[in-house]
A = this chain, B = another copy of it.
C-alpha cells in the first residue's frame, strides 16, 4: 500500500469498498474554483495492469457523470460488470498487458472520493449542500495530486468520454507538459443550453422530492428515490438515440400482448426506463448527482481563456485523438469538431474521426468495431513511438 492510504475497512460504508484510497490535501490544499480550499480530502481509485520501470505507460481514465473507478470486473455495489469492460483488459484496446490504467472517482462523487455524502470534519455531519460546488477543473486538480502521489511525472495518455472527455480537455489545457496524448471522446468544450436544461430538470426532480430534505436526507435516514429515479430516466433517454430505442423496443408491448388502458408500463420502453431509474438509486447519491451535473453545466473551456478556445491549447505538445459518434445528439459531432478547429488553429497534432453508429451518446461505452480500431490504432501508434511494449 502506498504511503498515505487509509485502510478500506476503517470507515463504512464507502470506506468498505475495495480498491485504493489516498488522503490528500495536507501538503497542498485543493484550491477550488469557487474559492474554497480543501486541506483534507480522499481520492478513491483503481488501477489495472502494471506501471513499467520508467513509469511511462500510465493512462489516466476519466469517468463520466455516473461512472466510477470500477471500469471492469464485477462492480462492488451492483455486482454487474464495469462500465468499460468492452475495452479494458489483457489484449483489449486499453491493454492491461501493455498499459498501467488509473481511474479515480471524481471529487464530488459518491464511491469513496470526498463528496457531499462525506463527513464534514468541522461538523461531524455529512457535508450535504454545504459541500463546495466543484468544477471540471477541480476534478482535474484532484487527479493531478493523485498522479503526483503515485510518482508519475508524465502520463502516457488521458482518456475519457462525455464528462470524462471534458476532464481530458482540461488536463490538456492545464497540464500539457504532464501528458503525452489526449483522447476526448463524445464530448464538448462547453455544455450547451439544451444539456444544461436537461440537467436542470433532473436537479429539480431531486430537489422536489420531499425525501431530499433540503439535502439532509442522510441525517433523516431517507433517500430521495423517486426524484433521483426521474432524473436518471430523463438523462437515460438522452444517452440513447431514437433509432437505438426503436431498434431495441419500438412500440413493442410488455408480456401482456394487448394495451391495458391503464398507467402501468404497457410498452417495453417504459418498463426499461423504470428499471433504469430504480436501479440507479441503489448505486448513486442524489447530492452527488446535483454537484456533478452542476460541474458539467459550468464547463466552458473557452471562458477560462478569454473566450477563445484555441487559447486553451497554445503551443501544446499533446497529441490529440478526437472521436465523435453520428447518432450522439447530446454531444454531437459539431461540438467535437469545434474542439478540432481550435486545435487546428494552434497547429496542434490532432486526428479526428466521426464513427458511424446508431447507439447515441452511449456508443463510447460499447465495443463498436470502428471505434475500437480507431482507438487501438492511435494508442498503439503512440506507444510504439515511445517504445512502450507489452510486459
Contacts and interface: CB of A to CB of B under 8 A. Distances in A.
Interface of A: 33-35, 129, 132-133, 190-194, 196-198, 200-201, 203-205, 207-210, 226-227, 229-230, 233-234, 237, 240, 242, 245-246, 248-251, 259, 261-263, 265-267, 269-270, 273-274, 277, 290, 294, 297-298, 300, 329
A271 B35 CA distance: 25
A197 B269 contact: yes
Nearest to A210: B210
B245 A233 contact: no
Given A190-B251, A197-B245, A270-B200, A261 B230 contact: no
B197 A300 contact: no
A302 to B, nearest CB: 10
- Most B-side CB within 10 Å, residue of A34, A193, A249: A193
- Count of identical protomers in the assembly: 2
Contacts of A208: 209, 226-227, 229-230
Given A196-B267, A261-B33, A269-B196, A233 B209 contact: no
Nearest to A247: B193
B193 A242 contact: yes
A297 B267 contact: yes
Given A33-B261, A129-B263, A205 B205 contact: yes
